[in-house]
């Protein structure tokens, strides 16, 4: 006689039949046919080498061995149901930890956080900021909101939210504001441009897309992170380059202007999460983010040349 556990399907068929005292009802509960349950019961009896049921009239009666197995399996399956329910509830109650850059968090996400909480009240969102060191493959992070270019990592489920659009911005406080506000984009060739070391290709990429010789651009003050770059632009220190969503609030408030508009890049704002950790909350959040990014932009634009 084998000392291995019987097949789980056979045990499930037996537990349901013994609990309901009916093969037909067990089949209905397990969403299989009457014959399928009968075959599983036969497999179980052959595995154990004992009879678990005997016929009694038109029904079945448990043998002594069947009674012992019924009591043991009922306890085991009830414990499994309880633990699985606890685990499911624990997962549902745990916060959804979303990583994103500090600039994206401060300049786009936080101004919309109240609306997200109102629209998705059951989503317990925890935000984790970082600059290039966030990876949803590591414990403690469920997903990552990031600007990136395809192709996507093979082990990631990626929700593409919106194409990235970047453009030059400056403050009315900037000394060259009046001179530049109505000038063509080529006027920027005479300006020392604010830039960030975290994305050195932003200015050259924008220049190329706008028919400007990127080699003629002049670098001004550099900043380690985009957040500091944009703070410098708001303070009137010069012309910066930025993704449109991150300056949307500043444009609406008039703290910044975008005289030359924004150009689309190959990058996407996307939500990444490991395929092995598929989470329905990520799909819900992705749809909300996509809808939010589709909202009309009412930013002031002085000159789109």
Instruction: Give residue for tokens 């349901």.
Output: 16
Residue 272 has pLDDT above 70, yes or no: yes
pTM of the model: 0.65
Instruction: Give residue for tokens 């984009």.
Output: 185
Nearest Cα residue to 187 out of 198, 179, 178: 179
- State whether residue 152 is helix, strand or coil: coil
Q: What is the pLDDT of residue 87?
A: 61
Residue 301 has pLDDT above 50, yes or no: no
107: CB partners within 8 A, 6+ apart: 227, 230, 245, 246, 247, 249, 250
Q: What is the mean pLDDT of residues 7-20?
A: 90
Could you tell me the two tokens for 16? 């349901």
Q: What is the pLDDT of residue 41?
A: 92
Residue 3 has pLDDT above 70, yes or no: no
Could you tell me the two tokens for 99? 């990583």
pLDDT over 90, % of the chain: 63
Report long-range pairs for 33-41 (Cβ below 8 Å, ≥24 apart): 37/13, 40/7, 40/9, 40/10, 40/12, 40/13, 40/14, 41/10, 41/13, 41/14, 41/17
Lowest mean pLDDT: which of 76-85, 197-206, 245-254? 76-85
Report CA dihedral (185, 190, 192, 196) to the nearest 10 degrees: 30
Average pLDDT of the chain, as a whole number: 88
Residue 217 has pLDDT above 90, yes or no: yes
**Which one-letter DSSP state was computed for residue 302?**
S
Distance (Å, rounded) from C-alpha 203 to C-alpha 218?
Answer: 10
Q: What is the pLDDT of residue 244?
A: 95
Nearest Cα residue to 161 out of 263, 282, 267, 268: 268
Tell me the domains of the chain and their CATH numbers.
8-88 (1.10.10.10), 96-296 (3.40.190.290)
Q: What is the pLDDT of residue 298?
A: 40
Distance (Å, rounded) from C-alpha 39 to C-alpha 27?
Answer: 11
Instruction: Give residue for tokens 């469920």.
Output: 142
What tens digit of pLDDT does each residue of 41-54 get? 999 999 999 999 98
Residue 144 has pLDDT above 90, yes or no: yes
Q: Are 167 and 260 in contact (CB under 8 A)?
A: yes
Position 302 confidence tier, pLDDT thresholds 50, 70, 90: very low
**Which one-letter DSSP state was computed for residue 58?**
T
Distance (Å, rounded) from C-alpha 199 to C-alpha 185?
Answer: 21
Residue 295 has pLDDT above 80, yes or no: no
Residue 152 has pLDDT above 70, yes or no: yes
Q: What is the pLDDT of residue 245?
A: 93
What tens digit of pLDDT does each residue of 55-68 get? 887 778 899 999 99
Residue 171 has pLDDT above 90, yes or no: yes
Cα dihedral 300, 243, 250, 259 sign = negative
Q: Are 257 and 300 in contact (CB under 8 A)?
A: yes
């Amino acid at each position: 006689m084998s000392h291995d556990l019987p097949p789980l399907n056979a045990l499930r068929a037996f537990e349901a039949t013994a609990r309901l005292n009916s093969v037909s009802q067990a089949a209905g509960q397990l969403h299989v046919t009457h014959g399928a349950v009968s075959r599983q019961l036969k497999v179980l009896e052959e595995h154990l080498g004992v009879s678990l049921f005997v016929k009694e009239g038109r029904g079945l009666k448990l043998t002594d061995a069947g009674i012992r197995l019924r009591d043991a399996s009922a306890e085991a399956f009830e414990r499994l149901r309880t633990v699985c329910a606890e685990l499911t509830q624990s997962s549902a109650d745990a916060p959804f930890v979303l990583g994103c850059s500090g600039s994206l968090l401060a300049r786009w996400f936080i101004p919309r956080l109240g609306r997200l909480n109102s629209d998705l009240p059951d989503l317990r969102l925890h935000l984790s900021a970082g600059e290039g060191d966030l990876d949803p493959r590591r414990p403690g992070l469920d997903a990552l909101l990031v600007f990136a270019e395809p192709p996507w990592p093979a082990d990631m489920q990626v929700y593409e939210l919106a194409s990235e659009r970047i453009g030059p911005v400056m403050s009315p406080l900037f000394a060259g504001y009046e001179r530049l506000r109505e000038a063509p984009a080529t006027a920027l060739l005479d300006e020392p441009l604010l830039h960030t070391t975290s994305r050195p290709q932003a200015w050259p990429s924008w220049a190329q897309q706008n028919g400007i010789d990127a080699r003629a651009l002049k670098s001004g003050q550099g900043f380690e992170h985009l957040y500091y770059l944009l703070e410098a632009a708001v303070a009137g220190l010069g012309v910066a380059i930025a993704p449109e969503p991150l300056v949307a609030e500043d444009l609406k408030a008039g703290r910044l202007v975008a005289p030359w508009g924004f150009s689309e890049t190959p990058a996407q704002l996307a939500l990444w999460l490991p395929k092995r950790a598929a989470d329905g909350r990520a799909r819900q959040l992705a749809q909300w983010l996509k809808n939010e990014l589709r909202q009309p932009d009412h930013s002031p634009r002085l000159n789109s040349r």
